[in-house]
Amino acid sequence: MTLRIRRVVFLLAGGTLAALMLGSFAALPSFGGSHGAYGPLLDHLSVPQHHITDVVTAVNFDYRGFDTLGEEFIFFAAVLGVALILRAQRGEVVGHSVDYATDRAVPPTSDVVRVLGLGLTPPTVLFGLYVVAHGHLTPGGGFQGGVVLATGVLLIYLAGELEDLHGLYTEAALERAEAIGAAGFIGVGLLGLAAGTAFLDNTLPVGRIGSVFSAGMVPLVNASVGLEIAAGLVLLLTNFLHQTIVLRAPGRVSR
Amino acid sequence: MTPLQVMILLFVAAGGTAVVATREPLRQAMVASLFGILLAILFFVLQAPDVALSEVVVGAVALPLMILVSLAKIRGGQR
């Protein structure tokens, strides 16, 4: 295909797409002017019915919990896929990489990074746990708290070495934690079936409004999702770092 | 739309363009990280703090880190 034909095809396709999109944008409701039927309904329902003061969580983990279960397993499958692709291949060996610039010393980790990384780890972990535990009360929940928890582990790696993480967990323990988190969601969902209603129906006692132990099954779901996301994300990072820092193709190991 | 929202939206548009316009992958990872922070600010301004929290970690930290680590692996094997 010559450049001219290519340009004509692009202008035709691009022009049509631009015209259609401009037409669609013109027909959109004004910014913030559209209100669905379910929003106001759930705003008035989530607190009196299930004692959930964060309506976003009420939607995600209660009223449409089944969709969230699907989303959680998308993440589960993604972590599984990464672990499968990044597994050690035949011929790959554990070792340090060949140093190509022997005249230059590797710069040490700066003291600022060390102090900040280690100093920020406990507050980050605490904040992650807080976000998981208060998902039904304030913005946040299992997904958000889980990623914050994983950041805490990342900070340890940033402040130190990859080896520092090996004392913290094993890959097998992470895999187990991730699986327990994923299964926990289903387990909590089965409570609804056991109570004689529907899967993921919130049948547990709802407690006092605003208390950490309230909102029925929602804190339990948040805890299991938090465990799954935190373990899964750390597993993901560990796999990437292991593949880059530890595994070498044969012949690329320094002696 | 408040002036603040308009301003952040313009920043996000500029940030997205900058990510596409950066051709060198290493730099692109850094620009993408900044873009993640801009998106997080946008979500926060649009009153979605929980989404902003996820975006900070995933968009500004986890994704650029994975790109960096992958680049390190690929470049290490080239020589």
Q: Does A252 touch chain B (CB under 8 A)?
A: yes
The share of chain A scoring above pLDDT 90, in percent, equals 21
Chain B interface residues (partner A, CB cutoff 8 A): 1, 48-50, 53-54, 57-58, 61-62, 65-66, 69-70, 72-73, 76-77, 79
Average pLDDT, chain B: 88
Choice between A1 and B17, residue whose per-residue pLDDT is larger? B17
Per-residue pLDDT at A2 exceeds 70: yes
For position A251, what pLDDT does the model report?
60
Q: Where along chain B do its domains lie?
A: 3-76
Q: Does A222 touch chain B (CB under 8 A)?
A: no
Q: State the pLDDT confidence band at B19, using cuts at 50, 70 and 90.
A: very high
A230 with A182: CB under 8 angstroms?
A: no
Q: State the pLDDT confidence band at A19, using cuts at 50, 70 and 90.
A: very high
Best of B4, B9, B73, B78 to mutate (most A CBs within 10 Å, chain A): B73
Q: Where are the alpha helices (DSSP H) in A36-170?
A: 38-50, 55-58, 65-85, 111-133, 142-159, 162-166
Question: Which of A182, A176, A132, A136 is CA-nearest to residue A152?
Answer: A132
> Per residue in A177-221, pLDDT tens?
999 999 998 988 888 888 888 888 888 777 888 888 888 888 889
Which residue among B48, B54, B66 places its CB closest to the CB of A147?
A: B54
CB contact under 8 A, A144 and B53: yes
Q: Where along chain A do its domains lie?
A: 52-248
Choice between A6 and A109, residue whose per-residue pLDDT is larger? A6
CB contact under 8 A, A241 and B69: yes
Kindly give, in sequence order, each residue whose CB lies less than 8 Å from that of residue A167, ignoring residues fewer than 6 positions away: none
Please tell me the distance in Å from B22's CA to the nearest CA on chain A: 23
Per-residue pLDDT at B58 exceeds 60: yes
Q: Tokens 């997080």 label which residue?
A: B40
Please tell me the distance in Å from A152's CA to the nearest CA on chain B: 11
For position B77, what pLDDT does the model report?
56
Kindly report whether the global pTM for this prediction surpasses the value 0.90: no
Please tell me the distance in Å from A166's CA to the nearest CA on chain B: 18
Q: Which two tokens stand for residue B12?
A: 């996000």
> Per residue in A60-110, pLDDT tens?
888 888 899 998 899 999 988 888 888 777 777 777 666 666 777 777 788
> Per residue in A34-46, pLDDT tens?
878 888 888 888 8
For position A236, what pLDDT does the model report?
87
- Measured CA to CA, the distance from residue A168 to residue A164 in angstroms comes to 7
For position B33, what pLDDT does the model report?
92
- Which sign, positive or negative, has the C-alpha torsion B73, B26, B55, A71? negative
Q: Tokens 């969230």 label which residue?
A: A68
CB contact under 8 A, A233 and B62: yes
CA dihedral B11, B13, B19, B20 (to 10 degrees): -160
Least confident of A150-154, A222-226, B27-31: A150-154
